Amino acid sequence: MKVLVPVKRVIDYNVKVRVKSDGSGVDLANVKMSMNPFDEIAVEEAIRLKEAGTADEVIAVSIGVKQAQETLRTALAMGADRAILVVAADDVHQDIEPLAVAKILAKVVEEEGAGLVLAGKQAIDNDMNATGQMLSALLGWSQATFASDLKIEGEHAVVTREVDGGLQTIKVKMPAIVTVDLRLNEPRYASLPNIMKAKKKPLDEKTAADYGIDVSPRLEVVKTSEPETRQAGEIVPDVDTLVAKLKEKGII
Amino acid sequence: MAGNPFERETLNLLLFDWLRIDTLAELPAHQGQDVADWTAVLNLADRVSKEALAPAWRASDRTEPELRDGVVRVEPGTRAAVRTWLDAGLHLAAVPEDEGGLSLPFTVAAATMAMSMASHIAAASFPMLSVANSRVIRTFGTAAQIAAFAAPQQAGTALGTMCLSEPNVGSSLGDVATRAVPDGHDDLGPRYRLRGTKMWISAGGQDITEQIVHLVLAKAEGPDGRVISGSGGLSLFAVPSVLPDGRVNDVAVTGLNHKMGWRGTPNCVMAFGEKTGAQGWLIGTEGQGLPIMFQMMNEARIGVGIGAAALAWRGYLTSRSYARERVQGRALDARDAPDPVPLTRHPDVRRMLLAQKAIAEGSLAICLYAARLVDLSGAGDEEAETLLGLLTPIVKSWPSEMGLVANHMAIQIHGGYGYTRDFEVEQIYRDNRLNPIHEGTTGIQGIDLLGRKMLFDRTGGLDLLLRRISETADNAPDDLAGCVTALRAARKALEEGVAAAHDMNDPAAALANATQMLSAAGHVVAGWLLLDLASTERAGEGQKLACRYFSQFELPQVRAWLAPVVAKSDLTATLNEDAL
Tell me the HSE value of B251 on the side-chain side, using a 13 A CA sphere.
31
Q: Do B87 and A192 touch (CB under 8 A)?
A: no
pLDDT at B4: 65
CB atoms within 10 A of CB B560: 12
Q: Do A192 and B39 touch (CB under 8 A)?
A: no
Residue-averaged pLDDT of chain B? 96
Helix and strand numbers, DSSP H then E, in chain B:
19, 10
Query: What does the longest C-alpha to C-alpha distance in chain B come to?
Result: 86
Rounded Cα gap, residues B540 and B13, in angstroms: 10
Q: Quick check: is B221 in a domain?
A: yes
Report the residue of A196, A199, A203, A234 to disrupt the B interface, i.e. the one with the largest count of B CBs within 10 Å.
A196
Nearest to B87 among A14, A74, A191 (CB): A191
Model confidence over B522-559: pLDDT tens digits?
Answer: 999 999 999 999 999 999 999 999 999 999 999 999 99
Q: Quick check: is B53 in a domain?
A: yes
Higher pLDDT, B25 or B293: B25
A189 contacts in chain B (CB < 8 Å): 44, 47-48, 84, 87-88
Our CA-based measurement puts residue A205 at a distance from the nearest CA of chain B, in whole angstroms, of 17
Q: Note whether B133 and B105 are same-domain residues.
A: yes
Please list the alpha-helical segments (H only) found in B379-480: 382-414, 425-432, 442-447, 461-475
pLDDT at A32: 87
Q: Do B84 and A189 touch (CB under 8 A)?
A: yes
CB within 8 Å of chain A, chain B residues 37-56: 37, 39-41, 43-44, 47-48, 50
Model confidence over B146-171: pLDDT tens digits?
Answer: 999 999 999 999 999 999 999 998 87
Q: Quick check: is B580 in a domain?
A: no
Confidence band for B332, pLDDT divided at 50, 70 and 90: confident
Q: Quick check: is B175 in a domain?
A: yes
SS3 string of B4-26?
CCCCHHHHHHHHHHHCCHHHHHH
**Contact in structure between B283 and B292 (CB atoms under 8 Å):** yes
A73 contacts in chain B (CB < 8 Å): 36, 40
CB atoms within 10 A of CB B450: 27
Could you say which DSSP state residue B528 is in? H
Which one-letter amino acid corresponds to residue B5? P
Three-state secondary-structure class, residue B283: strand
Which one-letter amino acid corresponds to residue B451? G
- Among B286, B317, B338, the domain-final residue is B286
Alpha carbon of residue B310 to chain centroid: 10
Q: Residue B166: beta bridge partners?
A: B169
Interchain contact A190–B (C-beta under 8 A): yes
Q: Quick check: is B303 in a domain?
A: no
Q: Do B102 and A196 touch (CB under 8 A)?
A: yes
Q: Note whether B104 and B186 are same-domain residues.
A: no
Q: Note whether B44 and B180 are same-domain residues.
A: no
B84 contacts in chain A (CB < 8 Å): 189
Q: Quick check: is B423 in a domain?
A: no
Single out the catalytic residue among B7, B361, B401, B439: B439
Residue B277's CATH number: 2.40.110.20
pLDDT at B171: 78
Q: Which residues have C-beta within 8 Å of that of residue B115, sequence separation ≥ 6?
A: B5, B6, B8, B11, B42, B45, B46, B49, B310
Q: Note whether B129 and B224 are same-domain residues.
A: no
Q: Note whether B459 and B532 are same-domain residues.
A: yes
Work out the average pLDDT over B295-305. Answer: 86
Nearest to B36 among A14, A70, A190 (CB): A70
Rounded Cα gap, residues B403 and B131, in angstroms: 24
Query: How far apart, in Å, are the Cα atoms of B336 and each of B339, B530, B579?
Result: 9, 39, 54
Q: Which residues have C-beta within 8 Å of that of residue B161, sequence separation ≥ 6?
A: B129, B133, B201, B202, B203, B204, B212, B213, B214, B215
**Contact in structure between A198 and A204 (CB atoms under 8 Å):** no
Is pTM beyond 0.80 here? yes
**Contact in structure between B21 and B105 (CB atoms under 8 Å):** yes
Nearest to B40 among A32, A74, A193 (CB): A74
Our CA-based measurement puts residue A210 at a distance from the nearest CA of chain B, in whole angstroms, of 27
Among chain A residues, CA nearest to B104: A196
Q: Note whether B91 and B188 are same-domain residues.
A: no
pLDDT at B555: 98
Query: How far apart, in Å, are the Cα atoms of B189 and each of B145, B180, B182, B183, B284?
Result: 8, 14, 11, 11, 10
SS3 string of B147-214?
HHHHHHHHHCCEEEEEECCECCECCCHHHCCCEEEEEEEECCEEEEEEEEEEEEEECCCCCCCCEEEE
Q: Is B448 exposed, middle or buried (0-12, 13-18, 19+ CB in 10 A)?
A: buried
Q: Note whether B181 and B235 are same-domain residues.
A: yes
A32 contacts in chain B (CB < 8 Å): 8, 43
- Among B87, B121, B153, the domain-final residue is B153
B88 contacts in chain A (CB < 8 Å): 189, 191-192
Interchain contact A200–B (C-beta under 8 A): no
Q: Which helix (H) or strand (E) holds B496?
A: helix B481-503
Q: Of B179, B178, B209, B169, which Cα lies nearest the Cα of B79?
A: B209
Q: Note whether B17 and B141 are same-domain residues.
A: yes
**Contact in structure between B316 and B405 (CB atoms under 8 Å):** no
- Complex confidence, ipTM: 0.87
Q: Quick check: is B392 in a domain?
A: no
Our CA-based measurement puts residue A175 at a distance from the nearest CA of chain B, in whole angstroms, of 34
Residue B98's CATH number: 1.10.540.10
Three-state secondary-structure class, residue B71: strand
Work out the average pLDDT over A30-55. Answer: 96
Report the residue of A14, A192, A200 to disrupt the B interface, i.e. the one with the largest count of B CBs within 10 Å.
A192
Phi, psi of B67 (to 5 degrees): -105, 110
Q: Do B40 and A70 touch (CB under 8 A)?
A: yes
pLDDT above 70 coverage of chain A, percent: 100
pLDDT at B1: 38
Confidence band for B2, pLDDT divided at 50, 70 and 90: very low
Q: Note whether B116 and B220 are same-domain residues.
A: no
Cis peptide before A6 (omega within 30 of 0): no
**Contact in structure between B260 and B433 (CB atoms under 8 Å):** yes
CB atoms within 10 A of CB A174: 16
Q: Residue B159: beta bridge partners?
A: B212
Nearest to B89 among A70, A73, A191 (CB): A191
Interchain contact A77–B (C-beta under 8 A): yes
Nearest to B41 among A32, A70, A192 (CB): A192
Q: Do A193 and B102 touch (CB under 8 A)?
A: yes
pLDDT at B294: 82
CB within 8 Å of chain A, chain B residues 57-86: 84
Which one-letter amino acid corresponds to residue B402? M
Q: Is the pLDDT of residue A15 over 90?
A: no
Q: Quick check: is B579 in a domain?
A: no
- Among B255, B286, B317, the domain-final residue is B286
Rounded Cα gap, residues B215 and B133, in angstroms: 7
Three-state secondary-structure class, residue A26: strand
Our CA-based measurement puts residue B571 at a distance from the nearest CA of chain A, in whole angstroms, of 54
**B99 included as an active-site residue:** no
Model confidence over B50-79: pLDDT tens digits?
Answer: 999 999 999 999 999 999 999 999 999 999
Q: Do B40 and A32 touch (CB under 8 A)?
A: no
Q: Note whether B449 and B496 are same-domain residues.
A: yes
Tell me the HSE value of B508 on the side-chain side, using a 13 A CA sphere.
2
Q: Note whether B179 and B109 are same-domain residues.
A: no
Residue-range domains of chain A with CATH: 2-248 (3.40.50.620)
Q: Do B102 and A191 touch (CB under 8 A)?
A: no
Q: Provide long-range contacts, Cβ within 8 A and 24+ apart, for A193-196.
A: A193/B89, A193/B92, A193/B102, A194/A77, A194/A78, A194/A79, A194/B89, A195/A73, A195/A77, A195/B37, A195/B40, A195/B41, A195/B44, A196/B33, A196/B37, A196/B102
CB atoms within 10 A of CB A206: 18
Q: Which helix (H) or strand (E) holds A40?
A: helix A37-51
CB within 8 Å of chain B, chain A residues 16-45: 32, 34
Three-state secondary-structure class, residue A153: strand
**Contact in structure between B459 and B526 (CB atoms under 8 Å):** no
Least confident of A44-48, A105-109, A235-239, B456-460: A235-239
- Based on the structure, what is the number of domains in chain B? 3
Q: Note whether B213 and B84 are same-domain residues.
A: no
Q: Is the pLDDT of residue B195 over 60?
A: yes
Interchain contact A233–B (C-beta under 8 A): no
pLDDT at A24: 86
Q: Of B107, B121, B171, which Cα lies nearest the Cα of B370?
A: B107
Work out the average pLDDT over B258-264. Answer: 97
Residue-averaged pLDDT of chain A? 95
Q: Of B122, B116, B149, which Cα lies nearest the Cα of B48?
A: B116
Spell out a b/e string for B57-83, using b for 16 or more CB atoms within 10 Å of the CB, else e: bbebbebebebeeeebbbbebbbbbbb
Nearest to A192 among B8, B33, B92 (CB): B92
Three-state secondary-structure class, residue B217: strand
Three-state secondary-structure class, residue B116: helix
Q: Which domain holds residue B22?
A: 8-153
Q: Is the pLDDT of residue B274 over 90?
A: yes
Model confidence over B353-381: pLDDT tens digits?
Answer: 999 999 999 999 999 999 999 999 999 99
CB atoms within 10 A of CB B519: 22
Interchain contact A124–B (C-beta under 8 A): no
pLDDT at B165: 94
